[in-house]
Amino acid sequence: MKPKIEDVAKVAGVSPTTVSRVLNDRGYISSKTKEKVFAAMKEINYVPNDLARSLYNKRTYLIGVIVPSTNHPFFGELVDSIEKMCNDRGYKVLLCNSLQEAEKEKKYWDMLRRNQVDGVIVVTYNRGLIDKNQQFPAVAIDHYLSENIHVVSSDNFQGGELASKELLDVGCKNIIHINGDVNLETPANERQYAYEKVMHDAGRKPLTYHVPNVAYLESNIDVIKQLFQENPDVDGIFASDDLLAIRTLQHAKSLGYRIPEDLKIIGYDGTGLIRSIYPELSTIVQPTYQIAENAVETLIEEIDGTSQEIKEKTLSVSLWKGKTTRASS
């Protein structure tokens, strides 16, 4: 039999109400009594039931995190940082991999609501899933869900600009952009707008290819093949995701392009993992750690009720210059 509050009370020589108050940190209890209760808990190996306390306190210290998949380096790194920060602050993470399917996302939202999470951090791409009167605090990372939800994002327009200018600066003339599903309202669209603006400003014609899903490499190869068939003279490619950039680079090499002499390539995300195993790939580095930190802090402020206003925070990205955009001499 698991020991109960009553057993702790008996051993400590206090009332069950007193034990309960100590556990929930409510009402005045002398430090001497607290010590007696904790000693008794230890003696009979009593494990507090956080679930029961959650119901009583109306706080679960659970945070739902909805991401497309931890299997992608950017989301794996982001979830890692979010979980670390939640744990440091006494919160637990309920992980939900939505695979970018609207139906799955909706089910996760319902599940999180039924489980009384204190808040949600959402890193997926389907709008309109939560009604405006949603009843718990939420922070969206990198995209707008609705007007009454905080947003923490990196500067996607700046990233698109940095990447496009880098290719122009190293002498590329025929620069093509590869991005994800054109129908998703993702922040990656900002990267495309920036690319188009930079191209127009430089008097060049922008051309964007869309892959069905940046995260699923296999589904993208047909688009990459088509790009090279239709544009054999391409000399610069800005891909909106590092994995996509690497895949494009591999295909280009198999066609005989020398990198960077014939073709220069730049990616996006710049996770520690990819920079470590593919340091030669130029990329735009997202500030993953700061994104996670800002999201967790904003969410906890709302949970604690210390902030009422809806926040919008945009963080700067930076250029990682590898060999794939080295100027040909």
Binding site for its own copies (CB under 8 A): 2, 47-52, 54-55, 60, 65, 69-73, 76-77, 79-80, 83-84, 87, 92-97, 110-111, 113-116, 135, 217-218, 243, 246-247, 250, 272-273, 276-279
Of the candidates 194, 220, 189, the one whose C-alpha atom is nearest the C-alpha of residue 206 is: 194
DSSP strands (E only) in the chain? 62-67, 92-97, 119-122, 138-141, 150-154, 175-179, 208-210, 236-239, 264-269, 282-285, 312-315, 318-320
Tokens at 211, concatenated: 């892959």
Q: How far is the CB of 143 from its own copies (least distance, A)?
A: 21
Question: Which of residues 76 and 206 has its CB atom nearest to its own copies in the complex?
Answer: 76
Q: How far is the CB of 201 from its own copies (least distance, A)?
A: 33
Q: How far is the CB of 264 from its own copies (least distance, A)?
A: 19
State the Cα torsion 32-38-40-43 to the nearest 10°.
-130
**What's CA 183's distance to the chain center, in Å?**
20
Question: Which of residues 6 and 110 has its CB atom nearest to its own copies in the complex?
Answer: 110
Q: How far is the CB of 286 from its own copies (least distance, A)?
A: 14
Q: How far is the CB of 182 from its own copies (least distance, A)?
A: 23
Question: Which of residues 132 and 205 has its CB atom nearest to its own copies in the complex?
Answer: 132
Question: Which of residues 190 and 241 has its CB atom nearest to its own copies in the complex?
Answer: 241
d(Cα 268, Cα 201) in Å, to the nearest integer? 22
Question: Which of residues 31 and 276 has its CB atom nearest to its own copies in the complex?
Answer: 276
- Sole residue written with tokens 């280009």: 252
Angle between helices 73-88 and 288-304 (to 10 degrees): 40
Within 10 angstroms of residue 207's Cβ, the number of other Cβ atoms is: 17
